[in-house]
Structure 1
Amino acid sequence: MKRMKKMISLGLSFLLVLAQIMLISAATNAQEAAAVYGLGDQWSNTPSNWNSGDPCDDNWVGIHCDNNSHVTSITLSSLGLEGTLTGDIQSLTELGTLDLSYNKGLTGQIPAFIGSLSKLENLILVGCSFSGEIPAEIGSLKQLIFLSLNSNKFSGRIPSTIGNLAKLYWLDLADNLLTDEIPVSDGKNPGLDMLIDTKHFHLGMNQLSGAIPEQLFSSNMKLIHLLLDNNNLTGEIPSTLGLVQSLEVLRLDRNHLSGSVPSNINNLTKVAEMHLSNNDLTGPLPNLTGMISLTYLDMSNNTFDESATPAWFSTLPSLTTLVLEYLRVSGEIPMALFSSSPLQTVRLRNNKFNGTLNIGTAFSSQLELVDVQYNNIELYTEGGGYNNQLILVGNPYCEHEASSPHCLESQQPITPYSTEPQDNCVPVSCPTDQSMSPHCICAYPYSGTFSLRAPSFSYLGNSTYFTRLENDIMNSFRKHQLPVDSVSLNNINTDVDEYLSMHLQVFPSGKLRFEQSDISNIGFILSNQTFKTSKDFGPYFFIGAPYTAFLETSTGGKSSNSKTVIIGVVAGAVVLALILIILLVFLVRHKKKTKNAVEKSQPFESWVVTKRSGDAPQLKGARSFTYEEIRKCTNNFAESNEIGTGGYGKVYKGTLANGQLVAIKRAQQGSMQGGLEFKTEIEMLSRVHHKNLVSLIGFCFDKGEQMLIYEYITNGSLKESLTGKSGVQLDWKRRLRVALGAAKGLAYLHDLADPPIIHRDIKSSNILLDNHLNAKVSDFGLSKPMTDTDKGHVTTQVKGTMGYLDPEYYMSQQLTEKSDVYSFGVLLLELLTARKPIELGRYVVREVRVMMDKGKDLYGLDQLLDPILISSSLGGFCEFIDLALSCVEEEGINRPKMSQVVTELEKIMVLAGMNPIIEAGSTSSSYEATTSKSGGSYHPYGNEAFDYSGGAPSAKVEAK
């Protein structure tokens, strides 16, 4: 029997080898077919129809051929490819386009033999994980038009040989680790100054250093976008920049540029967006009178000379956004500034403006924000009808008008645009793994982050811009006949790099899911800039998330009359063998899918059933309650015992038969929504026990009810304490104790739980405070066990809460323990500021990084701190900030482990005059049983989590 199995196995292997030989010779050039097969062998997660057949003849996904069966294009975006770029690709001598964008699993270096692809016009590797130096051999690709290598991990210098690419239109090397100076020609070596026909230099978010070369610019350049932001560039802005009359977008912000702004910058009459902020520029404010196309101007955080209000304030006819913060401009703000018809935002805080602020009556109808905090304004003339945001905090005006709404620190935030249902359709309830389209149809959308590098507008609540952007994207898909029903834009905010970031979803037309070829084509439209934005939106980039909900792709192909009878017999045998194999695989997968479906629909089916509990499972450490027991302990769910409510259901206070106080979270009756989260939380809390984790007393799964019974936590959540809702006031030392307690709870989950657990939703509303103000981490509904510790991550749909969400997890869908560390870092900053992570469109991580000055007391962050802390002795403050910022590093590898965070917090407590050993067991008796004004305690036994794979709220919503 064993011998027969071995012979069958050998026979099948032989037939498969024959099949490959036969199919390679069928249509595609033999050498090129072998090369594509080689790539397929090297990569994981290749398209399903790459397993057999002929690349050209059988229309392999992502493979495009000419009439002579030469491979001319490979486009494989967002398919989850893993592997490296191997030597096989050099055999594709007719290749014109290579697009492998949005595959985070592609790593390693770009091999030098890339230079042998002499016909390559588009090299697009956006959002992968390639590293090492960019090979100089790229300069041999003389036909290259698009070179997009942004959002990888490339290091070293920019190859000077790129200057040889005379046909280059688009150069994007942004968001990498590139260093050294910008190369220019020197008689022996080429440089970027030779790219006179290139229209896009996108080199921001790197580590480029040295001065911007004078030689880089000339009057015959056709450059329209120059993006050098977020680097380490020094020296003066070269005067030759004023020669580039075609320029439309200029970003030099977040460098170390010094000296005066050259006067001839006023000659750049086509520039619409100009960012010079966060440098060391000196001299007078530049005269911008001639820049009549200027829409967005930001020159904040420089050291310009003290100056009076410049005359050009009132002469820029296209201005939508004026940002001049932390400068030394004085005088009255002219009323004529506000009459510019497109004006939307004026941010002039921390200057020396004085006198009277008069917006007048002829202000722009789009004007939404006037922020003049911390100036010397004494009067504000009302009566003009302006009713939008005006912030006068920190001006003499507020000393005698403290009750004015304009003098409040916290004002009504602007609600960013969010796609609404269209066509008067009725919103539906979609399965948790699907999302609802603007046409109210449930489906699996393709999604990713769409970022505008220099938009001309700043008011995020203006639907005009975003509706037009959605329409433009949709029209581009229609033009290319892609099966797209609709698109939506949500979660719009300004990110840490001052880019306008939003979550884009693309919904399939006439079907539930996209096919692999659809995703390849949609990704290519966005990766190679086939979709063009208007000038209002400026340059963009897109980082697609892997799409995992594919339809099965057919592997069929065309027949060939030239095939011999022998090959036909072999092919028939192979087909028969493959059918048997596929049938076996299908049966195995079907069984697995059936099991998964049962587990989803009946999440407790796999638990042990006992006679006592009926349908309820029995777990160690968690008691199963009957519905009748819970009904009695809550006095029939009396309204007087209700202490919270939310999308999940209601929370009740109860007293068990033994006198123990409990909090009972009850799901909405008759709804199984959240069943998996319900089961997850029970399983997690039943096997983890730590004083800094909330204790699960038991659960009820009886008579169609889903209820979780927790220990009763007296003082509610950290969020309620920081916002003043609970009545608990936390000084510096108490906040350090809370931070340490929460860190210890997380460290236990990461290091001592078996298997380790990633919480996935750390935030202030999920940190509860007991009657001694000990911190307890709560809500495990979104938690994930690290069952494969060797892999180091869990690939899963993105879930969490905006503001706390790890950007690396959001982009890659790879969840690691460092994702919790990022969320904890945001929590530390929230402890300092008592503000929401995202407030008024501002992200606390970015605000701290921009404002921080280590040469000043409290790192210059006193304006961001919770006023309660200002009067405290803040021992260890600087070390606390350093720890928080290390936790929110962009890459998880650069963040500490939670055990290291615990150690650092203990050191900080010592600096604050505390003994971490004693404090770990300390009490605060004066804060026992704090209640709200209404008499009910605050108990957030839930969360505000959002599922970012679909953009809709998940089943679990915080009970407030």
Structure 2
Amino acid sequence: MAIKEYYQLKKYWVADPCLPQNSPWDGLTCDNSSTPDLSNSRLDGIISGHISKLTALTTLNLSRNNLNGQVPAFLQDLPSLIKIDLSNNNLSGPLPASLKEKMKDGQLMFSIENNPRICQEGQCSQDGKTTHKSRRTVIVISLVISTLLTVLIVVAVIVTIKRRKQDNHQQYQTTMEYKKSGIFTYSEVVAMTNDFDKVIGKGGSGTVYYGHLKDGREVAVKKVAGLVEEGTKEFQVEVHLLMQVHHKHLAPFIGYCDDGKQMVLIYEYMANGNLRQRLSDERADALNWQQRLRIAFGAATGLEYLHSGCTPAIIHRDVKSSNILLNANFEAKIADFGLSKSVISSSVTHITTAVAGTAGYLDPEYWCTGKVTEKSDVYGFGVVLLWRRKCPNS
């Protein structure tokens, strides 16, 4: 965390990186050792001395940044370090002699390419600077490269101006092709579900059936109940959102069918159903503590993406255990966006709307005022965390 503060890193580092198992810290692998990968992270300044405190380091990747100064000698004192990548930076001066010895002995893999100010053998003066001859060479090379870059930039600008309209047209066509690829006819839906012969879930908004695509992928096919105006609006909202949002912890959307008579949503099949089913299971091993932690973390990450990763932000409005699906690895996937609302801009603090959602998960303030915010989703998520099945005779 000191390293994160020193470099002002924009990394998703919260909670314990080792609990639950394989909890994803951006750029850090947690096992019996530590493997930070901070490559291409826009790091400026010298190599932080805080790194010397990470005594379990085995691999350190700081490549493709803008680090300067000399390669610090403390790297030689990290006992487990076997691989360092400092390539593509702006480091200078000679390498520490002890690191060179480790490289010669095969104890250390070291990458230092594309640091033009690093001194090679015989090129450093006693104060660690390059010789005048080396500096002249660097200046000549820099002038040649600058001239070539100027020519390339001028050519690139001309080509970009000429192709802008063509690129925009191609992008529009690509977008339309993507949308069309997710549209299914009702006859295709009937075929993939074997005429809706296997029900895997039911809810107020419709029934979910098991199916197979032609390529063999398993799917969950949600047949939306009714064609009343409000239901049609919710269906259109859900399709619109599902075609825009993509995240590891959102239910993977495959396509839809809307032929005027039938409304169908098609998702990737979730082998372990929804969280409510698991929480209601009376077997002691239905969900162990580690699985519960991973599910809670995944659902929270998905909600955080909707609130902070989407522009404009999206408020789900119906966060509950039955809308958190579980795949074969018990990874949480948030589903059912039919009641979702988009926040118009960052200056808007709430949306006033008719109260909708599921009793027991509704934020009391939203229930009373009709003003829904991201906090309403957080309240529903809190209810999920505290949810427990009813005990006998209670």
Q: Distance in 2 between matches of 1:680 and 1:749?
A: 15
Identity of aligned residues (%): 48
Query: Is 1:798 equivalent to 2:355 in the alignment?
Result: yes
Q: Give the one of 165, 179, 185 matched to 1:626.
A: 185
SS in structure 2 of the partner of residue 624 of structure 1: coil
CA deviation after TM superposition for structure 1 residue 737, in Å: 0.9
Aligned match of 1:391: none
Q: Which amino acid aligns with 2:211?
A: G
Deviation digits for residues 820-840 of structure 1 (CA, Å, limit 9, x no counterpart): 11111111111xx4459xx97
State TM-score, norm by structure 1. Answer: 0.22
Query: Is 1:635 equivalent to 2:191 in the alignment?
Result: no
Query: Is 1:700 equivalent to 2:281 in the alignment?
Result: no
Aligned match of 1:682: 239
Deviation digits for residues 548-570 of structure 1 (CA, Å, limit 9, x no counterpart): xxxxxxxxxxxxxxxxxxxxxxx
Query: Is 1:822 equivalent to 2:379 in the alignment?
Result: yes
Aligned match of 2:332: 775
CA deviation after TM superposition for structure 1 residue 620, in Å: 4.4
Q: Which amino acid aligns with 1:623?
A: G
CA deviation after TM superposition for structure 1 residue 705, in Å: 1.0
Aligned match of 2:317: 760
CA deviation after TM superposition for structure 1 residue 778, in Å: 0.9
1:801/1:703 CA distance change after superposition, 3 Å: closer
Query: Is 1:744 equivalent to 2:308 in the alignment?
Result: no
Aligned match of 1:431: none
Query: What are the within-5 Å matches in structure 2 for residues 859-938 of structure 1?
Result: none
CA deviation after TM superposition for structure 1 residue 650, in Å: 2.1
Aligned match of 1:711: 268
SS in structure 2 of the partner of residue 805 of structure 1: coil
CA deviation after TM superposition for structure 1 residue 663, in Å: 0.8
SS in structure 2 of the partner of residue 799 of structure 1: coil
Q: Distance in 2 between matches of 1:817 and 1:668?
A: 28
Deviation digits for residues 279-337 of structure 1 (CA, Å, limit 9, x no counterpart): xxxxxxxxxxxxxxxxxxxxxxxxxxxxxxxxxxxxxxxxxxxxxxxxxxxxxxxxxxx
Greater relative contact order, per chain length (Cα 8 Å cut-off, separation 6+): 2
SS in structure 1 of the partner of residue 201 of structure 2: strand
CA deviation after TM superposition for structure 1 residue 670, in Å: 5.9
Q: Which amino acid aligns with 1:624?
A: I
Aligned match of 2:112: none
1:816/1:622 CA distance change after superposition, 3 Å: farther
- For the 8 Å contact 1:621–1:687, the answer to whether it is kept is no
- For the 8 Å contact 1:745–1:776, the answer to whether it is kept is yes
Aligned match of 1:126: none
SS in structure 2 of the partner of residue 693 of structure 1: coil
Query: What residue ranges of structure 2 are gaps of 5+ in the alignment?
Result: 1-175
1:809/1:673 CA distance change after superposition, 3 Å: closer
- For the 8 Å contact 1:692–1:776, the answer to whether it is kept is yes
Q: Distance in 1 between matches of 2:266 and 2:282?
A: 24
Deviation digits for residues 914-937 of structure 1 (CA, Å, limit 9, x no counterpart): xxxxxxxxxxxxxxxxxxxxxxxx
CA deviation after TM superposition for structure 1 residue 731, in Å: 1.7
Query: What are the within-5 Å matches in structure 2 for residues 85-164 of structure 1?
Result: none
Q: Distance in 2 between matches of 1:727 and 1:705?
A: 41
Query: What are the within-5 Å matches in structure 2 for residues 94-243 of structure 1?
Result: none
CA deviation after TM superposition for structure 1 residue 780, in Å: 0.5
More helix by share: 2
CA deviation after TM superposition for structure 1 residue 684, in Å: 1.1
1:801/1:647 CA distance change after superposition, 3 Å: closer
Q: Distance in 1 between matches of 2:283 and 2:201?
A: 13
SS in structure 1 of the partner of residue 207 of structure 2: strand
Q: Distance in 2 between matches of 1:673 and 1:791?
A: 25
Q: Distance in 2 between matches of 1:672 and 1:686?
A: 21
Q: Distance in 2 between matches of 1:805 and 1:792?
A: 18
1:743/1:646 CA distance change after superposition, 3 Å: closer
1:694/1:835 CA distance change after superposition, 3 Å: farther
Deviation digits for residues 771-820 of structure 1 (CA, Å, limit 9, x no counterpart): 00001111111111011320211111111211111111122211111111
SS in structure 2 of the partner of residue 674 of structure 1: helix
Q: Distance in 1 between matches of 2:204 and 2:188?
A: 24
- For the 8 Å contact 1:793–1:814, the answer to whether it is kept is yes
- For the 8 Å contact 1:721–1:728, the answer to whether it is kept is no
Query: Is 1:649 equivalent to 2:211 in the alignment?
Result: no
- For the 8 Å contact 1:721–1:729, the answer to whether it is kept is yes
1:826/1:720 CA distance change after superposition, 3 Å: same
Deviates more, 1:798-807 or 1:704-713: 798-807
1:619/1:684 CA distance change after superposition, 3 Å: farther
Q: Which amino acid aligns with 1:680?
A: V
CA deviation after TM superposition for structure 1 residue 622, in Å: 6.6
Q: Distance in 1 between matches of 2:178 and 2:355?
A: 29
Aligned match of 1:48: none
Aligned match of 1:612: none
1:647/1:791 CA distance change after superposition, 3 Å: closer
CA deviation after TM superposition for structure 1 residue 720, in Å: 0.7
Query: Is 1:666 equivalent to 2:228 in the alignment?
Result: no
1:689/1:670 CA distance change after superposition, 3 Å: closer
Query: What are the within-5 Å matches in structure 2 for residues 14-53 of structure 1?
Result: none
SS in structure 2 of the partner of residue 643 of structure 1: strand
Q: Distance in 2 between matches of 1:728 and 1:675?
A: 40
CA deviation after TM superposition for structure 1 residue 667, in Å: 2.4
CA deviation after TM superposition for structure 1 residue 734, in Å: 1.4
Deviation digits for residues 112-144 of structure 1 (CA, Å, limit 9, x no counterpart): xxxxxxxxxxxxxxxxxxxxxxxxxxxxxxxxx
1:703/1:791 CA distance change after superposition, 3 Å: closer
Q: Which amino acid aligns with 1:644?
A: G
Q: Which amino acid aligns with 1:698?
A: G
Q: Which amino acid aligns with 2:326?
A: L
Q: Which amino acid aligns with 2:281?
A: G
CA deviation after TM superposition for structure 1 residue 702, in Å: 1.5
Aligned match of 2:36: none
- For the 8 Å contact 1:622–1:686, the answer to whether it is kept is no
CA deviation after TM superposition for structure 1 residue 636, in Å: 2.2
Count of residues in Structure 1 that have an aligned counterpart in Structure 2: 218
Aligned match of 2:79: none
Aligned match of 1:223: none
Q: Give the one of 367, 371, 381 matched to 1:810.
A: 367
- For the 8 Å contact 1:619–1:686, the answer to whether it is kept is no
Query: What are the within-5 Å matches in structure 2 for residues 457-476 of structure 1?
Result: none
Q: Distance in 2 between matches of 1:703 and 1:813?
A: 32
1:809/1:646 CA distance change after superposition, 3 Å: closer
Q: Which amino acid aligns with 1:745?
A: G
Q: Distance in 2 between matches of 1:808 and 1:673?
A: 24
Q: Distance in 1 between matches of 2:255 and 2:283?
A: 26
Q: Distance in 2 between matches of 1:780 and 1:633?
A: 23
